[in-house]
Amino acid sequence: MSKPVNMPTKVQLALAAPHSEAVAQLVDHSHERPRTPTIVPSAAPEPEVSRLDRYVHYLIARMTAGLSPAACANAFFDWGMHMAASPGLQLELMGEGVRQWMRFAAFFQEASGAAGTPVSPNIVPQPHDHRFASEGWKQFPFNVFAEGFLLSEEWWHSATTQVKGVEKQNLNRIDFMTRQALDVIAPTNFVATNPDVLARTQLEGGLNLIRGYFNYLDDLKRLREREAPDGAEKFKVGETVAITPGKVVFRNHLIELIQYAPVTEKVHAEPILIVPAWIMKYYILDLRPENSLVKFLTAQGFTVFIVSWRNPDAGDRNIGFDDYRRLGVMAAIDAVNRITGNAKIHAVGYCLGGTLLTTAACAMANENDDRLATLTLLAAQADFREAGELTLFIDESQVSLLEDMMAEQGFLDSAQMAGAFQLLRSNDLIWSHVVNDYLLGQRRPIFDLLAWNADATRMPYRMHSEYLRSLFLNNDLAEGRFKVDGQAVALTDLRVPIFAVGTETDHVAPWRSVYKFNILSDTSVTFLLTSGGHNAGIVSPPGAPHRSYRMATKHENDKFVDPETWHASTPPSEGSWWTAWAEWLGAKSTDLVDPPTMGAPDKGLKPLCAAPGTYVLQK
């Protein structure tokens, strides 16, 4: 699962050593208060030269909002050198520029003489670009402003994507940075060139700009003091959101395991265990009762468990990826087994939680551990070669800079993560906010998903570094190099049925990347593509308008179908994908049985407190 990037304020130069063994001792089956992990010091002190370099890199990161200037410079150099060596392309772009100007001049002449009659534009925005949708943009001179901007955008896209020989990531990075620069100067962002802002200013005598100024000051204050956005107080965890009845039945240093109360007389023998990403609060899947996936599943007769991650602090800097697997996924599986009498589990992973769960499932397959009945992956990836625009921020230079930046505080701050995600959808998350809140002077009503999005978490230094390097940079999991307890694990070892969900407009886990489970695994894969994005596409309750999905199953012996052919040959179905998934889970379940007890007091799993627990409330 926003605030702009906020950089650290002081420097602490330290590099601690791995201590997975120490963290492993933190499992707590009782009512003891979770302990902070003991940091094992490095075997040798860090050289002064390295400390100096780390300090300089940290200062650079503060000035560049965490982006690597070396990576950006390399991209521009690569693009510039190949552009300089391509006179034919330069001539082609010059010709395209002349044609653009001729089109613009013709449109200007027609629009200026139309006497208020709308003129058909030469170019229209992309389907996802709604900046020029209002009627005011069809009138002169604002239609000319929009036309000129869109033609410029089109020319720059050609200039940044058609240069042969440039590394693909550099080409994508140049295109992305150019779009960001153009978005800054879009005519929608200025009072004098935005017809909607001008009309509102004239109607209110400028009061909208005064309100916008105070909105800006309020946002600045909330950003500085780390307060939630205006209106988020209406969505209080445990009171208005995350209110499905349940109990925390297990707690260790990294997780609280919540078991939800049954609502049906009989339940499926196989429980559901949900593992959300460690960078999100779990209650995105338990928002209000009308859009709670947890509530929906319990109503379908499933016993539901969900992992609530602890919000790490500086003392957790050395907690790594394998600690999250053992103290998170495996500890939760063990607890669920004891509560349900060793029933097999429908395991569900969301986003990076799906990646973590997949890793755990591969390790279980390696050890002939057959406690999983099925594996459901929601907007989750195992192959990161095509992981969308997020990979623009990830290369060796960028990861190294992030590591040095995190050394000051021991974790990656939620505001720093939010900044990167905001840039991926700057029109929706940054500039639309500027126009609505500051120029029009109207606060957009906040809803539950936005309030949840502002309630972000941190990531431990070591964990963040390990998964960026192993998964994003090296793609170790998909290529069979990722090791668990010294043993390489492979997706081809999975034998349980997989249900993979992709969302059509996902910028974090593009659906074609999620679709790769069809080719990475040797088991039955049911792939479902739903409308919406990374979060809104998953939170898709029955009855919500404008929802649809496509679904098909590839069995073990079926031939592979590429994603474009699959999309063209798989008809859409109207409605929520939740119902289709619940039917699939039901078909993969066995008997209906009496609901298990809440926790297992006789096995050391006495309920500790009511849901939503305590970890989700940590700031």
The residues annotated as belonging to the active site are 351
Torsion of CA 337, 341, 346, 348, to 10 degrees: -30
Strands (E), 330-450: 345-350, 372-378, 411-412
Tokens 């590099």 map to which residue? Answer: 15
Q: Kindly list the distances between the CA atom of residue 612 and the CA atoms of 310, 349, 434, 616, in Å, as whole numbers in the listed order.
A: 12, 19, 34, 7
Contact 359, 325 (CB under 8 A): yes
- Cα distance between residue 492 and residue 504, in whole Å: 26
User: Minimal CA–CA distance to 28: which of 19, 37, 20?
Assistant: 37
Contact 510, 388 (CB under 8 A): yes
Contact 331, 28 (CB under 8 A): no
- Cα distance between residue 305 and residue 210, in whole Å: 49
In three-state form (DSSP H/G/I as H, E/B as E, the rest C), the secondary structure along 391-424 is: HHHCCHHHHHHHHHHHCCCCEECHHHHHHHHHHH
Dihedrals φ, ψ of 586, to 5°?
-60, -40
- Cα distance between residue 14 and residue 483, in whole Å: 27
User: Minimal CA–CA distance to 518: which of 527, 510, 509?
Assistant: 527
Contact 452, 406 (CB under 8 A): no
- Cα distance between residue 148 and residue 104, in whole Å: 7
Q: Give the end-to-end CA distance of the chain in Å, rounded to a whole number.
A: 16
| CA 271 to chain CA mean position, Å | 26
558 C-beta neighbours (distance < 10 Å), count: 12
> Quick one: DSSP state of residue 240?
T
**DSSP per-residue letters across 48-106:** HHHHHHHHHHHHHHHHTTT--HHHHHHHHHHHHHHHHT-HHHHHHHHHHHHHHHHHHHH
Strand partners for 308: 256
Strands 255-260 and 246-251: antiparallel
Half-sphere exposure of 335 (CA within 13 A, CB side): 34
Strands 267-268 and 304-309: unpaired
Dihedrals φ, ψ of 459, to 5°?
-130, 135
- Cα distance between residue 167 and residue 559, in whole Å: 32
Between helix 168-184 and helix 142-161 the angle, nearest 10°, is: 160
- Cα distance between residue 445 and residue 97, in whole Å: 42
User: Minimal CA–CA distance to 256: which of 316, 307, 330?
Assistant: 307
